[in-house]
A and B are shown apart, each in its own frame.
Chain A
Amino acid sequence: MSEAVAVAPRAARLNLGAYWVAPPLIVLALLFLYPLALIARAALADDSGALNFAAALDVLNSRAFLNALLNTAEIALASTAGCMALGLTLALILAFAPFPGAGFVARVIDTFLALPTFLVTLAFTFLYGSAGILNGVVTSSLGLEHPPIDFLYSAWGVILAEVTVYTPFVLRPLLAAFSLVDRSQIEVASLLGARPLRIVREIILPAALPAAIAGGSLCLLLTVNEFGIVLFIGAKGVITLPLLIYSKAI
């Protein structure tokens, strides 16, 4: 009798455990799997509903697609590299050589996360655009006819804007990782004769590597998918995959 009593609740609990999986699976299916299946069907099924790779292959072989793919990869990689370099430098300064107001600066950088990405682009247009402040100053002071600074309307403009917008995604995890680095390791290392650069390279960066990889991957994914910045810069010939998809879809 006592055995039966002991066994029954455990069995019930096990069953309950199996059902717990269901709600998250349903949510996952509705939010992710079904839309993904719809996209796959649109890409791979012909008008009759049969599986047909021809249309997809046509797109993959098309010049427009390959161009966009190349642009996307170039811009994403360059932006991510820029984010990593800038984020790392800023994080090192904010964490290890803090100045009065360093915390405030970190918060200001964070606010870029809250802004729609195209707003940053708009600000850049006011600053570096052909009718922007910088060109205004240069043309009037040098007496030029045409604005000399026009990098904004190229892939470089896109990269600069993306670096500005996405650096916080590298900065935040790095700051968190740096705050966990044992300061006494740094002190012991410096007393052993290591100069600051060696300490960064051999003590701090290895400790922050997981955070750097996480921030960098996030950056890469987001820059591959970036749409607003590319659209607003509107640079000639800079067509990325999201832009291509958008132009085909409407």
Chain B
Amino acid sequence: MSIAVPAASARAAAGAETATRSNVAFDRVSVAYRGAVVLKPLTLEVAAGEILAMIGPSGSGKTTALRAVAGFVRPAGGRILIGGRDATNLPPYERGLAMVIQNYALFPHMRVAENVAFGLRARGAAKDLTAERVEESLRIVGMPQYARRFPRELSGGQQQRVAIARALAVRPRVLLLDEPLSALDAQIRRSMVEEIAKLDADLPDLTILYVTHDQSEALTLADRIAILRDGELCAVGRTDDLYHRPPNRFAAEFLGRANLLPAVVEGEAEKGFVRVRVGEAKLVVAGRDEPAGAQRLLCVRPQNLTLAGDAERSNRIFAVVREIRWQGELTHLVAEVGDAVLRVVATRLPNPPKRRDRLEVFFAPADANLIVEDAVV
């Protein structure tokens, strides 16, 4: 896919009918269906120009939150601000947004170019501007040669690109993506993730609210991630922060795989680190203001564990191998530390251990943090 946004036309388009740099703010937004609360009061901001991924299992309220921004569901309480303006009571067609959804929702009786032009016509754009934007949007998603086709003549991946072009053509203040890649097969999904990443790099002003249950999409694309659970915000933060230092068990386990070992705090170490005990092992991990004697979970990612220590990876625990699975690029090792399970992922193991071998596993203090079992942000 070739992505090229001519600076001049992008500037001209920006001034056409909507501002392109806008933030979205949830201000204590709650949603209820027939008395059942599906979204508890949510306060969250998507900053202008960023991608915020909202992730969570099904029923967590993430799609409901997105639909509230779109204006498809009316909040039971709270306000939704788009570009600083209260949009809670605006109808969808006055919100200046665009959305891409899982099943594409292309208009079947319209050709690709007519689909892309739809929003521009609806917003009363002049004919030549419409033609220019349609061409430009199709070029951005690499589909200019398909302008005359009908949606039914395109593959799933191509249809989703047209849906993205249709959304981009109106220069939305905020682009809403609702599980946009879930209907595509794994290989196309991977390449579409890369294309959306490229889109974001080429359109830095575009604000995107991205709802997905796929944590790898979120990790690849998002500047920040918000994790929802049971209609409630359970964690939010910059993607790498949230990944490396999840605040609670749910966040740790939902965002990639995590080893969670019961640990007891022993006291402060150097600044920003604390000493803990896991079984017999005495370790140092990232953390601050942890009271001595407190029960915590030590969280460390499988790929941050190694079987060979060095000066940096100074933490050492003993584990007994339970299972070894070689999967081509990676080797997965499941071991036991007391009653807890420890997963290790290694790219290369010159001397792979065998079942029931006793292992030394190493990790860096900065790669581990402590979490409280029931903490909710």
Q: Which residues of A contact B (CB under 8 A)?
A: 182, 184-185, 187-195, 198, 202-203, 206-207
Chain A residue at minimal CB-CB distance from B114: A202
Chain B residue at minimal CB-CB distance from A198: B122
The complex places the Cα of A206 from the Cα of B93 at a distance, in Å, of: 21
Q: Does the CB pair A184–B108 fall under 8 Å?
A: no
Q: Does the CB pair A203–B107 fall under 8 Å?
A: yes
* Chain B hits for A185, CB < 8 A: 105-107
**Nearest CB of chain B from residue A11's CB, rounded to whole Å:** 41
Known: A185-B107, A187-B70, A206-B109. A193 touches B101 (CB 8 A): no
Q: Does the CB pair B70–A193 fall under 8 Å?
A: no
* Chain A hits for B101, CB < 8 A: 184, 188
The complex places the Cα of A193 from the Cα of B118 at a distance, in Å, of: 9
Q: Does the CB pair B118–A202 fall under 8 Å?
A: yes
CB contact between B122 and one of A184, A187, A189 (< 8 Å): that residue: A189
**Nearest CB of chain B from residue A188's CB, rounded to whole Å:** 5
A-B contact pairs, 22 of them (CB 8 A): A182-B103, A182-B105, A184-B105, A185-B106, A187-B92, A188-B101, A189-B118, A190-B71, A190-B91, A190-B92, A191-B70, A191-B71, A192-B93, A192-B98, A192-B122, A192-B167, A192-B170, A193-B123, A194-B122, A195-B122, A202-B118, A206-B109
Is B72 an interface residue when CB atoms closer than 8 A count as contact?
Answer: yes
**Nearest CB of chain A from residue B174's CB, rounded to whole Å:** 10
**Nearest CB of chain A from residue B33's CB, rounded to whole Å:** 16
0 or 1 for each of B117-136: is its CB under 8 Å from A? (1 = yes): 01100110000000000000
* Chain A hits for B98, CB < 8 A: 191-192
The complex places the Cα of A188 from the Cα of B92 at a distance, in Å, of: 9
The complex places the Cα of A207 from the Cα of B105 at a distance, in Å, of: 13
**Nearest CB of chain A from residue B97's CB, rounded to whole Å:** 5
* Chain B hits for A207, CB < 8 A: 108-109
* Chain B hits for A187, CB < 8 A: 70, 72, 92, 99, 105
Q: Does the CB pair A188–B99 fall under 8 Å?
A: yes
Q: Which residues of B contact A (CB under 8 A)?
A: 70-72, 91-93, 95-99, 101, 103, 105-109, 118-119, 122-123, 166-167, 170, 176
Known: A194-B93, A195-B93. A188 touches B122 (CB 8 A): no
CB contact between A189 and one of B91, B107, B109 (< 8 Å): that residue: B107
**Nearest CB of chain B from residue A202's CB, rounded to whole Å:** 7
* Chain B hits for A182, CB < 8 A: 103, 105
* Chain A hits for B97, CB < 8 A: 191
The 5 closest A-B pairs by CB, nearest first: A192-B119, A193-B122, A194-B122, A193-B123, A190-B92
CB contact between B93 and one of A193, A202, A203 (< 8 Å): that residue: A193
* Chain A hits for B103, CB < 8 A: 182, 184
The complex places the Cα of A192 from the Cα of B106 at a distance, in Å, of: 12
**Nearest CB of chain A from residue B19's CB, rounded to whole Å:** 15
**Nearest CB of chain B from residue A135's CB, rounded to whole Å:** 45
**Nearest CB of chain A from residue B350's CB, rounded to whole Å:** 53
Chain A residue at minimal CB-CB distance from B103: A184
**Nearest CB of chain A from residue B153's CB, rounded to whole Å:** 17
Chain A residue at minimal CB-CB distance from B108: A207
* Chain A hits for B72, CB < 8 A: 187
**Nearest CB of chain B from residue A208's CB, rounded to whole Å:** 11
The complex places the Cα of A209 from the Cα of B123 at a distance, in Å, of: 25
The complex places the Cα of A195 from the Cα of B95 at a distance, in Å, of: 12
The complex places the Cα of A23 from the Cα of B101 at a distance, in Å, of: 52
